[in-house]
Amino acid sequence: MHSSELAAHATKQTEEAIVYVIDDDPSICEALHALLRSIGVAVETFSNAQDFFAYPLPDLPACLILDVRLKGQSGLAVQEQIAAAQITIPIVFMTAHGDVEMSVRAMKAGAWDFLAKPFRDQDMLDAVTQALAADQQRRVADRTIAELRRRYDLLTPREREVMAYVVNGLRNRQIASVMNLSENTTKFHRNQAVKKMAAKTLVDFVLMGGALGLKDTDDGLCYRAASRKVGGF
């Protein structure tokens, strides 16, 4: 299964989604719970950030609705704690006391959206739906990359080197010259790498390498290869 098939397979998987709400106003939590349950989304509400951090987050697409003004700390501080804990989740901020500076800070820190209370139900549903879709797409991409890395780990050091040169546009003859190998040996290592990566075409193989970060965007790898060739290879 190559990279495009991996992504398609992951997208087809049916997964539930969950929305977390942190707000110290019980009426807001209850209203959001009812609103989100009306579209079939699971909801967990918390009156403070400590309870949220103590909650075992399931491996599901999710987003967080976070009040900017909480008792004892601000929602912006919670956003920083979430980032520090390396929790990747889209955050929809809401506040009755919002201002431009606050919303700019939240958005610059990666917030998905910022809604002022009272907000329209549809605006909240739209924000949540889009945030959940984005988180699902991120999870698909993460799984795809994880599988590519697992395959890449199967390559020998020489196969990895050959793959890097292929991804950066060098032909077999050039790679053979740079690595001081015969062209047949170079082809063998390339074919082994293609096989282990489960790439169906050379284009797919190159795209996989790009996704793994093997593409030298400043052409430095090709320049070094050319320099080594001039030096006697």
pTM: 0.71
For the stretch 111-129, pLDDT in tens is 899 898 889 999 999 999 9
Tokens of 153: 């780990």
Q: In this prediction, what percent of the chain has a pLDDT beyond 90?
A: 69
* Same-domain status, 67 and 139: yes
The domain total for the chain is 2
Mean pLDDT across 210-229: 64
pLDDT at 72: 79
How far apart CA 185 and CA 71 sit, in angstroms, is 67
* Same-domain status, 109 and 191: no
Tokens of 64: 């967080």
For the stretch 51-109, pLDDT in tens is 999 999 999 999 999 998 888 788 889 999 999 999 999 999 998 766 667 777 777 87
Asked whether the beta carbons of 45 and 33 are under 8 A apart, the reply is yes
Beta-carbon-side half-sphere exposure of residue 170 (alpha carbons within 13 Å): 31
Hey, which residues does 92 pair with through a beta bridge? 65, 113
Asked whether the beta carbons of 72 and 48 are under 8 A apart, the reply is yes
Q: What is the domain range of residue 199?
A: 154-230
* Same-domain status, 46 and 127: yes
pLDDT at 55: 94
Asked whether the beta carbons of 67 and 28 are under 8 A apart, the reply is yes
* Same-domain status, 167 and 118: no
Asked whether the beta carbons of 65 and 19 are under 8 A apart, the reply is yes
pLDDT at 108: 81
Domain boundary among 93, 111, 145: 145
For the stretch 146-164, pLDDT in tens is 999 999 999 999 999 999 9
* Same-domain status, 25 and 57: yes
* Same-domain status, 16 and 115: yes
* Same-domain status, 159 and 219: yes
